[in-house]
Every structure is written in C-alpha cells, then in structure tokens.
Structure 1
C-alpha cells in the first residue's frame, strides 16, 4: 500500500509519521513545504515531495500512484484561513481523484453547524465536507475535540493556566462540555483507519469522558499536585479571554481568539462509529492523558509541539542567506576557543533558551517577551521541545530554527513583533565562535528601533558569547 502523509511536520503528523515508518506493509511518501524541516535520518526508501496544496503540479506528483492519503492540513495562523482551507481541500480532492487515490483520512474537529459555531470550527467542518464530496474516493473523517498530549495547543493552554494561577477568575465558557482525547488514542484511530474494511464515507467522532473545561483544569491541577480555585465571571468577553490566554500561555493572541470563539458551543460526540468500527481501541481517561503528557515533558520525550510548524509558509518562502546578506544593521562578536572542541561549543549554543534561559540578562529577555505578548506576538514562553536537541522548523522561545549544521551553524529567525526582519546566527569557523545579529528595518521606525537597542545589545550580546564559551567548558 502506498501512503501519502501531508502535515508530517505538524503536531499530529510528526507523531503519525513515526508510527507509519514502523509499518512494514506500506510504502510511505511525505509531502512537505520545505524538506529542511524533516529529520536527516529518514530511511532511504521514504519518498519526499516538496510543495503545498496550492501548487497543483507538485501535488499531482505527490499523489501519483497513491492508495491512501492523510489530510492533516490547516491554515489557522493566516488571517484568511477559512477561504484558504476550502481551496486547499478542493485542490486535494480534485487531484486525488485524477491520480486514482482510493481513500482519504482526515482529522477535523468535533462540533455541529449552528449560529454559535465559530469560524475556526466551521472551517474544519467545511473542509471535511469538501473532502467527502467525491463519490469516487472514500473519506474517513475523524472528529476530535480537545487533544491532550505533551506539546498540544489545548494541553499547553490548560497546563500554563493551572501552573501559573492559584486563583483563576474565568469566563462562563469554563462550564462548556467537551470530550477530550489523548493524542496516542487519536494516533491509534488514524493508524487503524488504513486497514478498515468499510467502503463508504464515514464520520467518526472520537473522545473519552465528557468534562467541562473547569473540570479539566481541576483534574490537571490534581495531576500536577496543585490546589486551584476557579471563580467564573459572566462579564469576561471573548476578546478579554483571548488577551488573558495570550498573556499567561504560550499561544499568541490570534490563535487564542480563534480557540476561545470555539468554546461557546459544546464539542461532544455525535455518533457511535468509533466503537462500532474500531472496537479494539479503548481510550484512556483525561487524568491518565495529562499524567502521561507531564511525564514526557519532564523526561524530554516530547515528539512534537503545536508551535513547530509555520502554517503560513512565510518563513520557508524566504531565502534567509540572501536576506541576511542584504541586512542593513549587523551586531557581530567573535571569540576564540583554543582549548575547546567544536562539539563542545556547538552543544553550548544549541542548548540556549527554554528553561536554561539566555544567560545573565534573562530579565531583559523576559521584558522583551512580555512586550511582545502585549503586542499580540508569540512571546518568550514557547520554550523548546527538548533542552538538549534542536531541529529545523522548531520554535525556540520567540525564534524559529531555520538552519542547523552539526558542529558548524545555528540560524534563528525572529518571530517576535519587530518593525523589520531579524536573525540571530551562531557560527563556528576553525577555532572561533562568530555570533551575529542581523536586522533589516522597515522604514524609519525600524531604524529608530535598532538604534534605541544598541546599549542593550552591547550588554546582552557581549555577555552571551562569553557565556557560551564558559558553558562549553562544562561539556
């Protein structure tokens, strides 16, 4: 069986890819926006095609001779995501029919169409309807609500609120019912769908027990060994709630607002197809799912995170080396490391950020992250997936890893709100560490921004390169 996996660098896709790689009965093919975001140790027999669902020629090459295709794509981070999602799904099902694809497996969201349905949820429903519209292709449409796993958006929001706020004033949506599900259970369903014998289109609602969001937060507190008090307030609007999430969780305002709007309506199972067609899959409880997620975080076993993928594609549309060459402003520091190996220095600068922070001036970074949050940006607290390993495409606080070369180079692209474009580069040349901050300003404001930060840059960047060498001595 030849299987195409889209979204393989996303939260669900990255985990599903690991499972499918172990399946000896399939020939796996990946369709990605940028090959650099894939692990360098992929098996040689894995086919990789580059492109997106808006490039029909590339999409046709990827779908040629495919039996089953996983559709794990959405454009939530784009302002016009609703129309983009429709066009993406339409292109996919059109080319899939042309290529003779027999089955599409799609993961959407729980919910029903009514006057309260949020745009985000409505978009997921419309995508499923489009994918199911072709009579020549079977579509298995899985619908999940709150997915609980290390690095998932829902879990990160609930965990951060629970950890940071002993007493929470909450909007009335905390009493909305949902049916959460562990990420491993979602993967079980998606994997088993490959060999399902049924031939007709199916909508399969999946989830564990019914809980309100208030109950989820209290159970999360229990799993973390914390005591928490929730005080619902009826006057907290969607916008205020979105700012609340933006400030106290790693999720940026635009994503928080889309998610909060979806909490107005219940997301509960509408059919028994999961039990009927997948009787061998027994979902674990919410509390078990939270405990498992916490353990993965504590033991650095997080496989994927919600922030790993740039759904807009803007980062990967750039030629970063060319743009760096055109940067108007540059802050460069160099330091020799005669008594250290390249491996030691590389390990030191690739362990920067996250829980270990940014050396002596962490408070300045924290202030910058807080300002970014106030502006609706990503902020500093996305952290990193693993404190000791980095990969291309991964989020590192308010940076994105766009290139990494073993024992040679790390290039970070700024995702904070700035009046221009910024990069931070660490590079090893012979026995020297070269640390460079690049900035391409946008208008007069961009230039004023750079000049105003020169004194802070002097403190921060001088300390940073010296601290990297000092830390390298410990490895």
Structure 2
C-alpha cells in the first residue's frame, strides 16, 4: 500500500482576530494539515478548538519565541497588523513583518501567505499604505522564501468591521447625508470566498512570489449600502455632499455603529481611494472559486449573524467554564436581549425544570399573563399571520412543533428549548430556556429590522418586566409541584 501523504503543519498568526479565528475553524476541518496558532494569550483561543490545535504563546516582536514556534512549519499565515498600537503603527508593522520573514527563513518555512488590502501606493490611505508596505517586506527575499500575497477590499461577513458599518447604518438611518467619496469604486468579497482563497493557497503549485487580487463585482460604497438595504427589506436614501471631512465622517460612524474611532477613521480614510483588482491571478490560478455577489455575501452574513447569536449560541460544555462559542462573531447590538435568571436548589431536578418549560402553550398555556399572550396571538390571526395550530401533544415536543404563535427551533433534552416567533413584528424574535444545574436562564432575543424594529423593542420593555419575569419564575414553581 502506498504511504499516506504526510500532513503539513500550518501556522496561523493573528489567530484571535476576525480572519484568523474563521480561518482556524476552517483549517481544523482540513484532514491534510495540522494547525499551530501563534497568540499572545492562549486563553483567548475558543474552547471549541483549543484541543484541536497546537497553541503557542509569543509575539512577532520577540525573535527568540519565533524560533521554536516556526520549527516544523510548512506554511505560515501572516494576519497581523498594529493599527491598535497608536500613531507609530506603520513602523511597528514594518518591524513585525521583518522579524517574521527572517525567522521563517531561518526555520525553513516553505511559504508565507499574507492577506492585505486592495489599492495602489499613489492613492492609498496611511492604513492601506502600511498593509502594502507589509506585503512588500514579506515578499522581499524571493530567493529564500515564497510569499503569496492576497489582496482584498471590503470583506463582508458577520462580525467584519465593514459589514457591521453597512448593517448598522442601513438598520438605523432611513436617510443618510454622506461624503462625496462614497462613490469611490471597490470590489467587495464575502468572508467565505476569502477563506477559500486562503485555504487553497496552501497547496497552490507555484515557484516564487505572487500577488493575487480577490473580489467580486465593481461597486461603490453607495451602491453597497443600497443593495444591502434591499437584502434587509429596507429602502434607504443616500445624499452625498462635499462638506463632510474624514474626521466628521468618523464621528458619524462611531455614533451609529459599534466600530471604535481609530478603526472608523482608518476605514473612512480608505474609502477615498479606489480599491479594485489590478490583476486576474485569482481567476487564473483558482478557477474553481467563483466569488459570490455582494448581495449573496450580505444574505449569508445576515444568516450567519442570526445562527451564531441565536441558533448555535448554546453549548453544554462540562469540561470548560466557557461556552464553546462564547463571543464568536458577536457584533455589539445586533441582537437585543431580555434575560431572566431564576435560581433553584441543586437538589431540585433539572429535568423537571425542563419539562415545566416544555409545558408552556399546552394545558397550562402561558401562566399568569396568558391573556396578554393570547391577545397578541389573536391580533396576528386577524391579520392572517403566524401559526394558528395548537400543540401537537401536551406531553411531548419536537423541532418544528407549533406552540401557538411560536415554533420549536431547537431542542436539547433536559437542557435547552428555543422557540422562534411566528408573529408579525419588525424583526425576528426567539424565546430561549436554558436549564443549568442550579438555575433557569430565560432569554428573549430580538433581531430588529430597521428603526421600527428598535422602537418596537424598547416600547415593549415595560411589558417584558411583568411577562417574562413571571414566566421564568412560574416555570420553576411549577417544576417544584411536579417533584412533589
């Protein structure tokens, strides 16, 4: 029998950043590679992958730590920038890239893969110029090490800075006065396509260095805003004016989005420069990768945001204190929540608490404030909206079952019940019951649609105080009667 091909060991730097985290999750599923991470703090690595990767603490500014970290590495991903380090970040980026390149050469690393930004030096912002200089430094010693330099523009994915700016502005502002340079051209790309290129670059047959520009269709920021709003079911109007300076625009962004000022300023400054493809190497070298359209990337990002924050946010991790997906792609403010925690004695039966939660919408209906729940459901029925069917069985639930105007979206026996609202509301709503060994955590989740969605949520908060608080407490009380 022929010998199995030996796995390559791949190093990911910047593994706790947005791209690095997603690439790590992608590569741990790749049977052809072993993954090693370079991080400053191993505790920032997610629990779900901590036992699947080789974690090494160190820094590109610590030459001694790089020697052992790079030993045995075939391909090294360089996903680092120093923009958060103050005004001297360009110089720090140069030192970091030089140290890393030299250490890779000494360790015998075959290839560096770097993700930079689209653009040209003549018109680049300071932030983009630093990314270009980093690529040039990593590529400088072509006779000693190969460098694959991928260049992307606006990256669209749940949690990416660019997408969060677009999503927040579309959701919160029906009318926007914008700088004239929102009409600068760019070629956005979805995060999954970026990951496809990064992963495929590991096995790319190539001698020497390459610059590969990646992106989808040619758009400007105004067109991206309008198309994103359309995907979200909104209509937005943008009016470019000549009086908004980069500084004013940056303040505007931090007022309406969760992006910090330094990052907002860098992104705004970058919008003044066109960032379009300068070569066709992506199409030529990776013919199997067909980038999604901008609209498709936005649709996927919205779905990913919903799934990561609601459907997949729960875990049952007994070995670790942290949840497997804690803080995974959790853009601030995307999901509005009302959480109620009701403790119970450890001697009480967790399974009875869960059964009590599963009983809602049946013979016991919705307990004390049942009339309010029923009134809300009746309004939807009159409007010919929502579910009209009752429970399939009072004693049993399965995914897809109807509970009045709720539908069971997820069910983990004895642990978690997640309901998805089938109501006519300006957004998406879920009601989650998470039963721990000593407490019930009940959470109402709401993903608002536009400004009306936020107004709806905040106007309903006074009612939540009574309804949700009583619901959680009554579920625990009812379970105690079950025990007796």
Task: State whether TM-score is above 0.5.
Answer: yes
Larger relative contact order (Cα-Cα within 8 Å, sequence gap ≥ 6): 1
Answer whether contact 1:21 1:28 (CA < 8 A) is retained.
Answer: yes
Answer whether contact 1:160 1:249 (CA < 8 A) is retained.
Answer: yes
Is 1:188 aligned with 2:196? yes
Answer whether contact 1:6 1:13 (CA < 8 A) is retained.
Answer: yes
Indicate the residue corresponding to 1:292 in structure 2: 300
Q: CA deviation at 1:42?
A: 3.1
Q: 1:39 to 1:172 in 2, by over 3 A?
A: same
Indicate the residue corresponding to 1:126 in structure 2: 133
Indicate the residue corresponding to 1:281 in structure 2: 289
Answer whether contact 1:340 1:472 (CA < 8 A) is retained.
Answer: no
Indicate the residue corresponding to 2:234 in structure 1: 226
CA–CA separation in structure 1 for the residues paired with 2:106 and 2:56: 18
Is 1:140 aligned with 2:133? no
Which of 15, 22, 26 is the aligned partner of 1:19? 26
Structure 1: runs of 5 or more not aligned: 309-334, 345-429, 433-463
Answer whether contact 1:149 1:183 (CA < 8 A) is retained.
Answer: yes
Indicate the residue corresponding to 2:460 in structure 1: none
- Give CA deviations for 1:212-271 in whole Å, capped at 9, x if unaligned: 100000000100000111111111111100000010011011111111111111000000
Is 1:7 aligned with 2:18? no
CA–CA separation in structure 2 for the residues paired with 1:54 and 1:124: 17
Which of 47, 52, 57 is the aligned partner of 1:50? 57
Is 1:66 aligned with 2:69? no
RMSD: 2.9
Q: 1:336 to 1:213 in 2, by over 3 A?
A: closer
Q: CA deviation at 1:77?
A: 1.5
CA–CA separation in structure 2 for the residues paired with 1:473 and 1:65: 59
CA–CA separation in structure 2 for the residues paired with 1:159 and 1:213: 13
Q: CA deviation at 1:29?
A: 1.1
CA–CA separation in structure 2 for the residues paired with 1:37 and 1:343: 31
For residues 294-333 of structure 1, the aligned pairs below 5 Å read 294-300=302-308, 304-305=328-329
Answer whether contact 2:11 2:75 (CA < 8 A) is retained.
Answer: yes
Equivalent position SS for 2:121: coil
TM-score (norm 1): 0.65
Structure 2: runs of 5 or more not aligned: 1-7, 314-324, 333-341, 352-436, 440-464, 477-484
Q: CA deviation at 1:10?
A: 1.1
Q: CA deviation at 1:469?
A: 12
- Give CA deviations for 1:181-237 in whole Å, capped at 9, x if unaligned: 000000000000011001110000000000010000000010000011111111111
TM-score (norm 2): 0.64
Equivalent position SS for 2:150: strand
Which of 168, 172, 189 is the aligned partner of 1:164? 172
CA–CA separation in structure 1 for the residues paired with 2:350 and 2:42: 25
- Give CA deviations for 1:320-377 in whole Å, capped at 9, x if unaligned: xxxxxxxxxxxxxxx9854787999xxxxxxxxxxxxxxxxxxxxxxxxxxxxxxxxx
- Give CA deviations for 1:54-77 in whole Å, capped at 9, x if unaligned: 111111111012111010111222
For residues 65-464 of structure 1, the aligned pairs below 5 Å read 65-79=72-86, 80-114=88-122, 116-135=123-142, 136-300=144-308, 304-305=328-329, 338=345
Indicate the residue corresponding to 2:396 in structure 1: none
Count of residues in correspondence between the two structures: 333
Equivalent position SS for 1:134: coil
